[in-house]
Amino acid sequence: MSAENLVQLLYLVATGLFIMSLRWMSNPETARKGVFSGVAAMVLAVAGTLAGVITTGGTHYWWILAAFIAGSAVGYPLAQVPLTAVPQRTALSHAFGGLAAGLVGTGKFFLYYGQSNEEALAPYIVTALMLEILLGFLTFTGSLMAAGKLQELKWIPQRPVTYPGQNVINLGLFTLALALGVALVLNPLAAWAPLAFMLVMVLSLAFGVLLILPIGGADMPTVISILNAYAGLSAVAMGFVLNNKLLITAGALDGSSGLILSIIMCKAMNRSFTNVLFGAFGQTQQAAAGGEAKVYKSDTPESAAQIMAQADLVVIVPGYGMAVAQAQHRVRELYDQLKKRGVTVKFAIHPVAGRMPGHMNVLLAEAEIPYDDLVEMDEINGDLPQADVALIIGANDVVNPAARTDKTSPIYGMPIIDADKARTVFAIKRSKNPGFAGIENELYYLDKTFMLFGDAKVVVGELARQLAGEGGH
């Protein structure tokens, strides 16, 4: 087998493993296999590239090895973040991917320009270069902004930052970058080409910041998945520039999966892409002046445990508060105590509960809660009118009835879990602050709702202890 055929074989196997990785990760039972498949595919991709450099007489393969080692050294600790930080860690990964694409495109352009290589700067190559630069660099700065907002960095505003004519300015900058790109495609070896190329880079970097600035923290998970699609498309363009079929395939998989995830999340929030990107969602609503003050009704874990002990069906609605408190193992203890009493327990899973789709599933799976008891929103809503108790653990916007009733609410029309239809509602909440969307939750003021204030891990643990104590009498 020739060296070239060996490289292509490695790329082909890596492509198959990337595809199977996505396939296996769609099912909890095969997800671990999917992760290992993706890792193996990336190792083969790097090995194929390294083999290609060595067999073609390249002398700089040590740089590839050095980058591989450095990337692994940085990547391993990044993978050790808690599950609550996975979205911002994902955003950082997209930023690195976008930066890599942008830098490769920059290097290729100036290499070909310095050689006055008209063939290498053919129109379709320069078109791919422009897409690579534009998408790569806006993904870099946009993802850094998104990660900062999710991490709640003090120097990055969490709420939307808007000003008059903002969308017009952003569109103008983007149009200018496209116009310069077209000019470069038509005349890539002109004397002004390097300056125009650098200007496209600057505009792309600026556009990434300006694109994310007017978007609130509530929409950051969706924005991250959109940026994922951009990163994938930049990799596709890079594949055309480098004539690398594996990059084209892997980039297409990445881009399409990011787009599909964005569609799922927008559908779950009843939002459109344009509304997410330009709607300035997530601004805190101010209470009406002179309005009647609303009062929560508080309860104790002891009382709540007594009511749950007599229930036939308890529906638990997990949310980001459960993730922050790392309460999933206490939830498992509560689940076990209720099951011992013959209570049917189900978990209502909203597609955007937490910060990413599947966030709650992963946390509950970590606590070894049977996957069959995790029920998606559309299915569980039919059971909630028969539920004796709905226990909300750190969820907020995904159970807010304003999504059904208040046309002025920014979440109006968003599908929610119908927790308000249960006979009794207990809501565990650390404070009286509004949820991620920055709005009050009408559910907490209903006559049937009782608040259990405190850290979710502590409160759920106390509920489990109360049930265990009663069971021992």
Residues annotated as part of the active site: 397
For the chain, the three-class secondary structure string (H helix, E strand, C coil) is CCHHHHHHHHHHHHHHHHHHHHHHCCCCCCHHHHHHHHHHHHHHHHHHHHHHHHHCCCCCHHHHHHHHHHHHHHHHHHCCCCHHHHHHHHHHHHHHHHHHHHHHHHHHHHHHHHCCCCCCCCHHHHHHHHHHHHHHHHHHHHHHHHHHHHCCCCCCCCCCCCCCCHHHHHHHHHHHHHHHHHHHHHCCCCCCHHHHHHHHHHHHHHHHHHHHCCCCHHHHHHHHHHHHHHHHHHHHHHHHHHCCHHHHHHHHHHHHHHHHHHHHHHHHHCCCHHHHHHCCCCCCCCCCCCCCCCCCCECCHHHHHHHHHCCCEEEEEECHHHHHHCCHHHHHHHHHHHHHCCCEEEEEECCCCCCCCCHHHHHHHHCCCCHHHEEEHHHHCCCHHHCCEEEEECCCHHHCCHHHHCCCCCCCCCCCCCHHHCCEEEEEECCCCCCCCCCCCHHHHCCCEEEEECCHHHHHHHHHHHHHHHHCC
> 361-380 burial by CB neighbour count: b if 16+ within 10 A, else e?
bbbbbeeebeeeebbebeeb
Residue 168 burial (C-beta neighbours within 10 Å; 0-12, 13-18, 19+): exposed
Residue 287 burial (C-beta neighbours within 10 Å; 0-12, 13-18, 19+): exposed
CA–CA distances in Å: residue 39 to residues 21, 33, 149? 9, 10, 29
